[in-house]
Amino acid sequence: MGGEDVKVPIELSFMEAVQGCSKTITFQTDLPCTACGGSGVPPGTKPETCRRCKGSGVSISQTGPFTLQTTCPACKGTGKIVSSFCKSCKGNRVLRGPKTVKVDIMPGVDTDETLKVYGSGGADPEGNRPGDLYVVLKVREDPVFRREGSDIHVDAVLSITQAILGGTIQVPTLTGDVVVKVRAGTQPGQKVVLKKKGIKGRNSFSFGDQFVHFNVSIPT
Three-state DSSP at 218 gives coil
Instruction: Please say whether the beta carbons of 166 and 185 come within 8 A.
Output: yes
Question: Is residue 33 involved in binding Zn ion (CB under 5 A)?
Answer: yes
Comparing CB distances to Zn ion, the nearer of 17 and 53 is: 53
Q: Minimum distance between the CB of residue 4 and Zn ion, rounded to whole angstroms?
A: 17
For the window 83-122, what string marks contact with Zn ion as x by the rule CB under 5 A? ---x-xx---------------------------------
Q: Minimum distance between the CB of residue 45 and Zn ion, rounded to whole angstroms?
A: 11
In this chain, which of 7, 9, 28, 35 binds Zn ion, going by CB under 5 A?
35
Q: How far is CA 159 from CA 169, 172, 179, 192, in A?
A: 10, 17, 16, 17
* Strands 146-148 and 151-158, sheet pairing: antiparallel
Q: In this structure, which amino acid lies at residue 48?
A: E
In b/e form, how buried is each residue of 148-176, taking b as 16+ CB within 10 angstroms?
eebbbbbebebeeebbeeebebebebbee
Stretch that binds Zn ion, among 33-41, 105-113, 125-133, 146-154 (CB under 5 A): 33-41
In this chain, which of 74, 101, 180, 192 binds Zn ion, going by CB under 5 A?
74
Q: In this structure, which amino acid lies at residue 123?
A: A
Q: In this structure, which amino acid lies at residue 147?
A: R
Comparing CB distances to Zn ion, the nearer of 36 and 199 is: 36
Stretch that binds Zn ion, among 61-69, 74-82, 102-110, 162-170 (CB under 5 A): 74-82
Comparing CB distances to Zn ion, the nearer of 40 and 208 is: 40
C-alpha to C-alpha distance for 158 and 141, rounded to whole angstroms = 24
For the window 39-68, what string marks contact with Zn ion as x by the rule CB under 5 A? -----------x-xx---------------
Q: How far is CA 109 from CA 35, 147, 215, in A?
A: 40, 11, 30
Q: What is the CA radius of gyration of the chain?
A: 32
Stretch that binds Zn ion, among 35-43, 111-119, 142-150, 184-192 (CB under 5 A): 35-43
C-alpha to C-alpha distance for 67 and 74, rounded to whole angstroms = 19
Q: Minimum distance between the CB of residue 121 and Zn ion, rounded to whole angstroms?
A: 20
Site for Zn ion in 130-159 (CB under 5 A): none
List interacting residues with Zn ion (CB under 5 A).
33, 35-36, 50, 52-53, 72, 74-75, 86, 88-89
